[in-house]
Structure 1
């Protein structure tokens, strides 16, 4: 159970590092536009906003990784809760898919981590 919680936590961190790359560096590239279903014009018009979003996703990944490396479970939990809140808000305000991609893995990681404690 503890290993599953750790692996899921690492997956959430990896996803958010990937979101950083997509939003900061690939937003106006074919992969970024396809992933977020953007036209070239919309991607160009929103690239600064997307980069800001990507930076925040990077902070979430960094919080999880720093918490794991420094053996600070409170930091890991806080970061995962932030991911859940961001994913729930994204699902509400942008697209329901975001809940399943972002919030659900973090919820599962929190549940598995809590079961281990």
Structure 2
């Protein structure tokens, strides 16, 4: 079960590193516009680019937190650290689904919930 938990945690972290990359470095751009379902004209606005960049930084923090929890947290704190950062991802997915796009719940929330279940079973 720990191997499954490890794989799922790394997938969630990789997804958030990718989101960080898109939000911080690919806006404005056609790939980000397509993925986020937003018009290029909207993403050309400087204040929109700043907001996305800020969001990207937070997504990077989530990814780094998951990597730290998985590989650097003390063994006796690993479950708590993983649960904390996965909980942050789940909370962000719930909020994003409510305020931005319901698809976030499945694209970001579901992998984090599956990782949380695997972590709970492994520790």
Where does structure 2 lack aligned partners over 5 or more consecutive residues?
none
CA-CA distance at 1:38 after TM superposition = 1.7
Number of residues paired by the alignment?
A: 117
Tell me the TM-score normalized by structure 1. Answer: 0.95
Report how far residue 49 of structure 1 moved.
0.4
Where does structure 1 lack aligned partners over 5 or more consecutive residues? Answer: none
CA distances 1:64-96 after superposition (whole Å, capped 9, x unpaired): 001112134122221110000000110111111
State the TM-score, normalized to the length of structure 2.
0.90
Q: Mapping of 1:10-29 within 5 angstroms? A: 10-29=10-29
Pairwise CA distance, 1:58: 0.2
Q: CA deviation at 1:41?
A: 1.7
State the SS of the aligned residue for 2:37. Answer: coil
Instruction: Measure the CA separation in 1 of the matches of 2:43 and 2:25.
Output: 12
3-state SS of paired residue (1:71): coil
* Whole-angstrom CA distance in 2 between matches of 1:16 and 1:48: 18
Structure 1 stretches of at least 4 aligned residues deviating more than 3 Å after TM superposition:
none
Q: Deviation string for 1:21-61 (max 9, x for gaps)?
A: 01000121111111111222210221110000000000000
